[in-house]
């Protein structure tokens, strides 16, 4: 290829690039359903072209009708980028993530061994249980229950929210990632959407009676401090079905349900799923 040919080729590709760009502007490649993505959002969308979609180099699976889901954590800054790859082109799709303000939450009167566990046995137990929970959350089945309108899993007073900076017995700790719903021991806990149980444990060190439900495509929900558990691992459950009762087991200062939402290992805000 001589110099002239190369420059002609370059000019041609620039023009082609502009053409593609204007064609794109007229025809969106994806649609995002989540109204205003913010820190902690589960984000659902649909592909409008044939191809693959990537978030942070992870290829997102698609439902039969082209929907995908992913989540952005509490400390995500400003914007994230999706990449859409079709036969013809690769398109970068920036998505603005709204910043939030976090509350400061003080919890006092917890048993010191629950705040600062020191014994070898306890530390080994925490490690073992953490691995079990991590495994349960990494399950990404093909069901598409994450597309349902979620409902609150229990009635009660909201006593803690996602993202707050926690000060336990006066010591700053990791942020709180659940939505706390306080009510009497024995209050019914229901499934907020269809799913499959991937963890059902009576007594974990921090979280006491604990359930994890897989809603498909890496989206799962977690239920902590339960008093009784009505489901077992592998069980398919439907929205509104009773799964457990509220308790004060594990590291809890009083009876409440701590409800969590995860996209694989990313912790999301379950409250954002509930219609106002």
Give contact residues for Zn ion (rule: CB under 5 A): 160, 178, 180, 258
CB of residue 261 to Zn ion, shortest distance in Å: 13
Give the dihedral sign, CA 109/115/120/124: positive
CB of residue 275 to Zn ion, shortest distance in Å: 22
Please identify, using beta-carbon distances, which residue of 194 and 258 lies nearer to Zn ion.
258
Cβ-based neighbours of 53, under 8 Å, separated by 6 or more: 30, 47, 59, 60, 62, 68, 82, 83, 84, 85
DSSP structural state of residue 164: P
CB of residue 262 to Zn ion, shortest distance in Å: 14
Exposed, middle or buried by CB within 10 Å (0-12, 13-18, 19+), for 234? exposed
Please identify, using beta-carbon distances, which residue of 150 and 177 lies nearer to Zn ion.
177
Q: Cα–Cα distance between 35 and 226 in angstroms, integer?
A: 33
Q: Cα–Cα distance between 185 and 56 in angstroms, integer?
A: 42
Q: Which two tokens stand for residue 129?
A: 């249980």
Which residue sits closest to Zn ion, CB atoms considered?
258
Q: Which two tokens stand for residue 4?
A: 């002239």
Q: Cα–Cα distance between 225 and 149 in angstroms, integer?
A: 25
CB of residue 117 to Zn ion, shortest distance in Å: 18
With CA atoms as reference, report the closest residue to 28 among 87, 91, 79.
91
Please identify, using beta-carbon distances, which residue of 142 and 170 lies nearer to Zn ion.
170
Please identify, using beta-carbon distances, which residue of 43 and 213 lies nearer to Zn ion.
213
Please identify, using beta-carbon distances, which residue of 160 and 163 lies nearer to Zn ion.
160
* Residue located via tokens 């907020």: 192
Please identify, using beta-carbon distances, which residue of 160 and 218 lies nearer to Zn ion.
160
CB of residue 162 to Zn ion, shortest distance in Å: 10
CB of residue 56 to Zn ion, shortest distance in Å: 27
Q: Cα–Cα distance between 218 and 234 in angstroms, integer?
A: 16
Please identify, using beta-carbon distances, which residue of 30 and 267 lies nearer to Zn ion.
267
CB of residue 160 to Zn ion, shortest distance in Å: 5
CB of residue 259 to Zn ion, shortest distance in Å: 8
Please identify, using beta-carbon distances, which residue of 180 and 214 lies nearer to Zn ion.
180
Q: Cα–Cα distance between 181 and 127 in angstroms, integer?
A: 27
Do 200 and 237 meet the contact criterion of CB atoms below 8 Å apart?
no
Q: Cα–Cα distance between 179 and 256 in angstroms, integer?
A: 10
């Amino acid at each position: 290829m001589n110099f002239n040919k190369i420059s002609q080729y370059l000019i041609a590709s620039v023009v082609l690039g502009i053409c593609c760009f204007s064609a794109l502007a007229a025809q969106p490649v994806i649609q995002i359903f989540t109204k205003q993505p913010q820190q902690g959002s589960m984000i659902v969308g649909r592909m409008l072209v044939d191809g693959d979609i990537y978030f942070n180099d992870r290829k997102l699976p698609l439902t039969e009708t082209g929907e995908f889901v992913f989540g952005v954590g509490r400390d995500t800054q400003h914007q994230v980028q999706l990449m859409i790859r079709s036969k013809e082109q690769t398109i970068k799709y920036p998505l603005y993530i709204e910043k939030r303000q976090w509350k400061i939450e003080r919890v006092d009167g917890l048993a010191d061994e629950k705040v600062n566990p020191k014994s070898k046995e306890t530390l080994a137990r925490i490690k073992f249980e953490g691995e079990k929970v991590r495994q349960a959350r990494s399950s990404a089945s093909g069901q598409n229950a994450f597309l349902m309108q979620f409902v609150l899993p229990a009635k009660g007073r909201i006593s803690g929210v996602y993202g707050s900076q926690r000060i336990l017995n006066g010591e700053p700790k990791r942020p709180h990632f659940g939505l706390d719903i306080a009510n009497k021991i024995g209050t019914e806990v229901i499934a907020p959407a269809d799913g499959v149980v991937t963890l059902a444990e009576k007594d974990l060190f921090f979280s006491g009676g604990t359930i994890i439900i897989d809603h498909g495509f890496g989206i799962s929900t977690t239920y902590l401090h339960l008093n009784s558990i009505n489901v077992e691992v592998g069980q398919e459950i439907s929205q509104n079905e009773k799964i457990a009762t509220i308790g004060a087991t594990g590291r809890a200062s009083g009876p409440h349900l701590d409800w969590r939402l995860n996209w694989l290992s990313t912790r999301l805000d379950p409250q954002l799923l509930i219609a106002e």
